[in-house]
Amino acid sequence: MSAESVFPQLEALLPHVQKPIQYVGGELNSTVKPWESCDVRWCLMYPDAYEVGLPNQGVMILYEVLNEREGVLAERTYSVWPDLEALMREHKVPQFTVDAHRPVKAFDVFGLSFSTELGYTNMLTALDLAGIPLESKDRTIDDPIVLAGGHAAFNPEPIADFIDCAVIGDGEQAVLEITDIVRAWKAEGRPGGREELLLRLSKTGGVYVPGFYDVEYLEDGRIARVVPNRSGVPWRVSKHTVMDLDEWPYPKQPLVPLAETVHERMSVEIFRGCTRGCRFCQAGMITRPVRERSITGIGEMVESGLKATGFEEVGLLSLSSADHTEIGDIAKGLADRYTEDKIGLSLPSTRVDAFNVDLANELTRNGRRSGLTFAPEGGSERMRKVINKMVSEEDLIRTVSTAYGNGWRQVKLYFMCGLPTETDEDVLQIGDMAVKVIAEGRKVSGQNDIRCTVSIGGFVPKPHTPFQWAPQLSAEETDARLEKLRDKIRGDKKYGRSIGFRYHDGKPGIVEGLLSRGDRRVGAVIREVYESGGRFDGWREHFSYDLWMKSAERTLPEQGVDVAWYTTRERTYEEVLPWDHLDSGLDKDWLWEDWQDALDETEVEDCRWTPCFDCGVCPQMDTSIQIGPTGKKLLPLSVK
Amino acid sequence: MVQRIRLRYTKRGRLRFTSHRDFQRAFERALRRAEVPMAYSAGFTPHPKVSYANAAPTGTGSEAEFLEIQLAEVRDPQELRKLLDESLPDGLDITDAVEAHTSSFADRLQASLWEMRLDGVEVADAERAVAAFLAAETVEVQRRTKNGLRTFDARAAVARLEALDGPADRPGVGACAILRLVVRHLTPAVRPDDVLSGLRATADLAPPVPAAVTRLAQGLLDEESGTVTDPLAPDRDASPAATTTTAAGPSAGAAQVPEGPA
């Protein structure tokens, strides 16, 4: 396949589309390597619009890791908006990379990163535009290996027909191992075709090839078992874990786009993994154990990253950033270093904790104090015990009291609706909590113009979590519950007007639930939606619940199941779950016990500070918790 | 603020699809990477002091965009130009820099010289259309704006318009005509594509593919010759070190029409 640039053909289409700059590449710190100088070529895709995909840390890291290797090149592609898609189809311009505008089909590996399941239809659009057959079984030696990664890949079964393989866990080392295998196979003259290459990947135990496993079903629709259908294919596939984050200081040269994107900042991942044990949180379960980047490593990444990008903001990323053992010194050290340069610091994902207000004060010492966000997640004390979010109402009031007392004017609180065992009363208590927050705020600030915004998302049970067996609340019940809460807040004469209320309706959550806990039979729904024009399901203006439900009605009943079977049905201990053969390290019996603890409203501690509670990850994956403190400090930068 | 510097920059090649907003962000980041000692506005969220003038539309190439920055420390304009140019992606190039010694810079941007490449159009057809356009008193055109469809005259703003043969070494095959035109900056603004609409209205000129449009120069309009002169020249002339800086500058003297787009 020719790897010649399609830019001349594309260029003629660009004057007719919205925001053409997103398709031209040329970002600062992007890399274009000569095609012929490399023998393994990756095309990386974040299957969403450029403005969402470009800042994605996962893709940025792998792009740099691969391009640093001699003889290897990586280019990027993103979903094109429907206006360009139509023109590309009309003028026969294939899916292209933004780096050198090469056709995606010309690459050896087409790697897609799925942060969410809502990118599945976009994958099909990209495959089709690329001229790559939608299903793995129809591909030939001239097609790239289609590889899925990212958190959604921990249950790749709904897209099993469309991908050739999947990798679960950290990608940094995995992409290099795959590169070596592809290189050797190509150097030998591609013996045995695609089948042989996939077999070699599969035999490592770290690459899942769905085609090498048969799924057998029981008469009632449940899975009987998942069996390898080739010799040498492992029964279970393991996740990948990078153990020393300081050895992987990526991205070193973050991409700086010309187009406006959702995050415009220098992001540094300060640790990976989380052991808080929130039972709804898939990210916290599948990224164990906790591995911290050292304070000095963080300082170096911020310094070189700011030089390389010119960003005005630094984001200290992780699943719960205030939990870094040296977060106080990190925040103070960075604030001291960059005060004069007017660099803002942000700390997303913080817990409800007065200490975090001190931190936030430190981070905003030169700027305006507008809003602070906390996530109690559950409205009632009982609910928070079920989800293991160990925050008491007293903690919350003390925290917001500190915040309002320090000049913060607005507090935003995140909650979920539809959690296991939840009743109307649990959700209505969110309103009580907001009222108490406002009352406390008025008291400590002596002012009436303070605000509290309550933001509510629908809970979707996820694979590899203690809630993987839980029934999802139907869209109708979710909406009814949220309406009651809205009426209660609006009806409050004294406080109602100080409380903002934001929520999403329950429908998108049902589709997400179908895709999250679906099995291979759900693939037919995805394909049907795609073929009926479904695109960009993460976007409110493009998402169509009706299209998904109609497509499910056309494809699932003939397979003996329906949407409710995947979403609102509770699973039993005995049931074989579609993702059981993908090993996240978590012991299924431990997850079950934790699910039972949830139903008993029993909490579990964090293993960073208490003895191990045997979730199974460390022994299974041969890993261990890596945390400080190192005792080091960030010294002032001597040379400005 | 201790110094003001005026810069000329380009939007070339694929980066002509950069919108003005996109350019602003890219430029302010380049200022940070180049560690330029900017003067900042006061207030809670201080912004570096940059004034942009008369940006070309998205999708249009340009050899002659201008902006002015205010510095908190004195810098050599040429060194600053080089540093900033290296900090911007290729295609967004800083091609000239002078210290400001005069006022009302924006007023000097009276007109632009544009080039439009019309692939698939015979020069003879283009020449006929140009003649018809120039012969007309007024040429009414329409353009869709935020406030709906708007009708205005595209003729009065055009100070010069000529059709030339396409470059011999151009890519692709087939006919290609080049239009060069000088357009006064009036209100409502007349853009090159409005003139193209005018050519269609007066002489049925309909290019089969979108025109590639590039602004070649922007500045004071010499009404007699119909040429556009370098708006930075008065600052260069007023500079105490005029003799030395000018000689070393990248576009010495009153710049005439530069070479075509890169």
Shortest distance between the Cα of A71 and any Cα of chain B, in A, equals 25
| A35: its two tokens | 């095609």
Question: Are residue B187 and residue B146 in the same domain, yes or no?
Answer: yes
B7 falls within a domain: yes
Q: Is the pLDDT of residue A637 over 90?
A: no
3-state secondary structure of A305: helix
Judgement on whether residues B22 and B102 belong to the same structural domain of the protein: yes
CA–CA separation, A272 and B91 (whole Å) = 38
pLDDT of A210 above 60: yes
Q: What proportion of chain A, given as a percentage, has pLDDT over 90?
A: 85
Judge whether residue A174 has pLDDT over 80. Answer: yes
Read off the pLDDT of each residue in A184-196 and give the average, rounded to a whole number: 97
Would the pLDDT of B248 be above 60? no
Scanning A114-248, the segments in alpha helix (DSSP H) are 120-130, 172-187, 193-203
Q: Are the beta carbons of A308 and B33 separated by less than 8 Å?
A: yes
CA–CA min distance A341, chain B (Å) = 9
> What's B85's domain CATH number?
3.30.70.580
With CB atoms and an 8 Å threshold, state whether B32 touches A258.
Answer: no
Q: Quick one: B116 and B218 in the same domain?
A: yes
Question: How close, in Å, is residue B254 to chain A by CA atoms?
Answer: 32
If asked whether residues B126 and B215 sit together in one domain, one would say: yes
DSSP state of A29: T
pLDDT at residue B252 above 50? no
Using an 8 Å CB-CB cutoff, list chain A residues near B19: 19, 21
Query: Does B90 contact A309 at a Cβ distance shorter than 8 Å?
Result: no
Q: Tell me if A12 and B210 make a contact (CB, 8 A cut-off).
A: yes
Whether residue A385 contacts residue A354, with contact meaning beta carbons closer than 8 Å, is answered with: no
Asked if A114 and A47 count as a contact pair (C-beta separation under 8 A), the reply is: yes
Answer whether residue B95 is part of any domain.
yes
Helices (H), A310-380: 327-338, 354-363
- Nearest CA among A153, A152, A145, A204 for reference residue A174: A204
pLDDT in tens, A333-391: 998 898 877 788 888 767 777 677 778 877 777 566 667 888 899 999 999 999 999 88
pLDDT value at residue A391: 87
ipTM over 0.90: no
pTM: 0.92
Query: CB neighbours of A115 closer than 8 A, spacing ≥ 6?
Result: A46, A56, A58, A150, A151, A152
SS3 A554: helix
Q: Which amino acid makes up residue B245?
A: T
Which of B17, B40, B87 shows the shortest C-beta gap to A20? B17
Cα separation, A96 vs B183, in Å, equals 38
**A118-164 tens-digit pLDDT:** 999 999 999 999 999 999 999 999 999 999 999 999 999 999 999 99
CB contact under 8 A, A310 and B40: no
Count of domains for chain B: 2
* β pairing state of A313-317 and A291-292: unpaired
Q: Where residue B128 sits, what CATH number does that domain have?
A: 3.30.70
Give domain status of residue B258, yes or no.
no
Is B92 found in the same domain as B117?
A: no
State residue A526's pLDDT score.
Answer: 98
Contacts of B209 in chain A (CB under 8 A): 12
Backbone conformation region of residue A145, classed left if phi is above 0, alpha if psi is from -120 to 50, else beta: beta
pLDDT digits (tens, 9 = 90+) for B130-153: 999 999 999 999 998 888 899 999
CA distance readout (Å), A51 to A20, A21, A79, A236, A258: 12, 11, 10, 36, 10
Cα-only R_g, chain B: 20
Helix axes A57-68, A172-187, angle to 10 degrees: 40
Q: What's the rounded mean pLDDT across residues A401-422?
A: 91
Q: Would you say residue B259 lies in a domain?
A: no
Verify whether the Cβ–Cβ distance B46 to A367 is below 8 Å. no
Check whether the bond before B231 is cis (ω within 30° of 0). no
Say which range, A463-477, A626-640, B96-110, has the weakest mean pLDDT. A626-640
Give the residue from A469, A488, A542, A477 showing the smallest Cα distance to A48.
Answer: A542
* A547-605 residue pLDDT tens: 999 999 999 999 999 999 999 999 999 999 999 999 999 999 999 999 999 999 999 99
Q: What angle do CA A593, A598, A604 make, to 5 degrees?
A: 75
Average pLDDT over residues B228-252: 70
Tens-place pLDDT, residues A80-89: 999 999 999 9
**Residue A87 near chain B (CB below 8 Å):** no
Whether B70 and B86 map to the same domain: the answer is yes
Three-state DSSP at A374 gives strand
Does pLDDT of B172 surpass 90? no
Span B76-104, pLDDT tens digits:
999 999 999 999 999 999 999 999 999 88
Contacts of A308 in chain B (CB under 8 A): 33
Residues B17 and B31 in one domain: yes
Q: Using a CB-CB distance cutoff of 8 angstroms, which residues of chain A are in contact with residue B35?
A: 640
pLDDT at site B241 = 64
- Region A457-461: mean pLDDT is 96
Nearest to B221 by CA among B255, B194, B184: B184
Going by their DSSP bridges, the two strands A410-417 and A451-458 should be labelled as parallel
pLDDT of residue A353: 74
Q: How far apart are CA A399 and CA A392, in angstroms?
A: 11
- Taking contacts as CB-CB distances below 8 angstroms, the residues of chain A near B25 are 258, 260, 264
* Alpha-carbon span A469 to B65, nearest angstrom: 61
User: How far B19 CA lies from chain A's nearest CA (Å)?
Assistant: 8
Residue B253 in any domain: the answer is no
CA distance A226 to A207: 16
Q: Are B48 and B130 in a shared domain?
A: no
Evaluate whether residue B148 is within a structural domain.
yes
For residue B183, tell me if it sits in a domain.
yes
Q: How confident is the model at residue A408 (pLDDT cuts 50, 70, 90)?
A: confident
The string of pLDDT tens digits covering residues A5-40 is 999 999 999 999 999 999 999 999 999 999 999 999
Q: CB–CB of B17 and A24 under 8 A? A: yes
Pick the residue of A11, A22, A258 with the most B CBs within 10 A to test the interface with B by mutation. Answer: A258
Helices (H), B75-135: 77-87, 123-135
Contact (CB<8Å) B90/A26:
yes
> In terms of domains, do B163 and B66 share one?
no
Among residues 566-605 of chain A, which lie with CB inside 8 Å of chain B? none
Domain that holds residue B76: 3-107+231-248
**Cβ contact A258–B18 (<8 Å):** yes
- Beta-carbon separation of B59 and A25 below 8 A: no
Residue A216's φ and ψ, nearest 5 degrees, are: -105, 140
Judged by CB atoms closer than 8 Å, whether chains meet at A20 and B26 is answered as no
Statement to judge: residues B42 and B73 lie in one domain: yes
Of A21, A23, A342, the CB nearest to B19: A21
User: How far is it, in rounded angstroms, from Cα B147 to Cα B150?
Assistant: 8
Across the A:B interface, residue pairs with CB atoms under 8 Å apart total 72
Return the minimum-mean-pLDDT range out of A350-359, A431-440, A474-483, B125-134.
Answer: A350-359
Kindly state whether residue B262 falls inside one of the protein's structural domains: no
Average pLDDT of chain A to the nearest whole number: 94
